Structure 1
């Protein structure tokens, strides 16, 4: 799973460096934190939407048995030789 960007100090440092490079003189830490949160809400929103779609599929019965799925993937990756 990807690291949560919102809690990644390296990502925040990179974000802050980019913002400070072209920031007006009155740019504050409050401004930076507000923009950081705003940009990362979109990422979280997309993740939450994907999780919701997954639950909706589960509730609708759109599931596949795990053993069946593994067998299909095995055949797809390494097909059986022709007879």
Structure 2
């Protein structure tokens, strides 16, 4: 495993299956994660700082997935969960 996600799931064969990243609800709270992410990217493109950005947590879990050639990942606050 490249990097250190909060949780890792392996298949019975020992192959990596899924990475899980856990955030607090204060770091990652959004009713619509996709819309908020797209809004944050637009704000960042204008060289401004978005408020309560979800950009970094999404970028973090995507980095775990792409670095380890994983198809599945989970981003959760324990109140809201997104399956990637």
Name the TM-score, length of structure 2 as normaliser: 0.25
Greater radius of gyration (CA): 1
More strand by share: 2
- Give the alignment's TM-score, normalised by structure 1: 0.25
